[in-house]
Amino acid sequence: MSLINDDMQQLLLNFCDPETELLQKIDRETNLKVLMPRMLSGHYQGRVLSMLSKMVSPNRILEIGTFTGYATLCLAEGLTENGLIYTLDKNEELEEMVLNNFAQSTYNDKIKYILGDANETINALNETFDLVFIDADKKNNSTYYDLIFDRVRPGGLIIVDNVLWSGKVLNSNPDKDTKNITTFNDKALADRRVEKLILPVRDGLFVIRKK
């Protein structure tokens, strides 16, 4: 999934802060016990998410797509003293693992873990968000973007994962999944309400700032 070679990836890891023991544990157990472990953000992307969160110093974060909770904990590192992160997922099979991971974290009391269809659970949240991380089913990137946009404060960040899709976005004859990615990317590019750039981190992070 990474767009750079292994040697450069290792250099990048050498020049960023280490993972906590808990994050290492989540990474290891996800790879041992969960299908499609590559969905986990991992060390370097986790540090990027942590840094972006700390730069925003958010009071409210929304994460769409919890998986096993690795990125949730990275994002939570930037929360204000009274901050909260709402993390939404629909995979009930991972609930026990996720709750156990959160329970071992100092951020447990700041995390609101909500299971269900994000199209419905988002509408139930009466919050204004400083930071949103979209990392769920890629065909709904545009839908989630529209659902949350008015709930993001001016100056807030919307971060969307996997927007380079292992480089498949360059294909001249893309498959359906790739078209879903490029359709959202084009939508964000054309949106004059925001400033934006893609970071070539792992599988591509679209960092979008609401004006």
Encode pLDDT of 31-58 as tens digits: 999 999 999 999 999 999 999 999 999 9
Q: Which of 81, 76, 31, 88 is nearest to 52 (CA)?
A: 76
In Å, what is the CA distance from 30 to each residue of 64, 158, 195? 19, 26, 34
Distance CA 164, CA 114 (A): 28
Encode pLDDT of 168-183 as tens digits: 999 999 999 999 999 9
| The pLDDT of residue 4 | 83
Rounded to a whole number of angstroms, the CA Rg of the chain reads 16
Phi and psi, residue 152, nearest 5°: -95, 130
For residue 184, give the 3-state DSSP assignment: helix
Is 68 within 8 Å of 97 (Cβ atoms)?
A: yes
- Whether the per-residue pLDDT at 75 is higher than 80: the answer is yes
Is 207 within 8 Å of 201 (Cβ atoms)?
A: no
Question: Would you kindly state where each structural domain of the chain is located, as residue ranges?
Answer: 6-210
The DSSP 8-state label assigned to residue 111 in this structure reads E
End-to-end Cα distance, the chain? 31
Mean pLDDT (whole number) for 8-28: 96
> Can you give the pTM of this predicted structure?
0.96
Is 130 within 8 Å of 60 (Cβ atoms)?
A: yes
β-strands 60-64, 111-115: how paired?
A: unpaired
Residues constituting the chain:
211
- Whether the per-residue pLDDT at 96 is higher than 70: the answer is yes
- Whether the per-residue pLDDT at 23 is higher than 90: the answer is yes
- Average pLDDT score, the chain: 96
| The pLDDT of residue 153 | 98
Classified by CATH at the fold level, domain 6-210 comes out as Rossmann fold (3.40.50)
Distance CA 73, CA 105 (A): 8
Percentage of the chain modeled with pLDDT above 90: 97
| The pLDDT of residue 1 | 62
Scan for tokens 């960092």, then name that residue: 207
Encode pLDDT of 115-161 as tens digits: 999 999 999 999 999 999 999 998 999 999 999 999 999 999 999 99
In the structure, what pLDDT confidence band is assigned to residue 3 with cuts at 50, 70 and 90?
confident
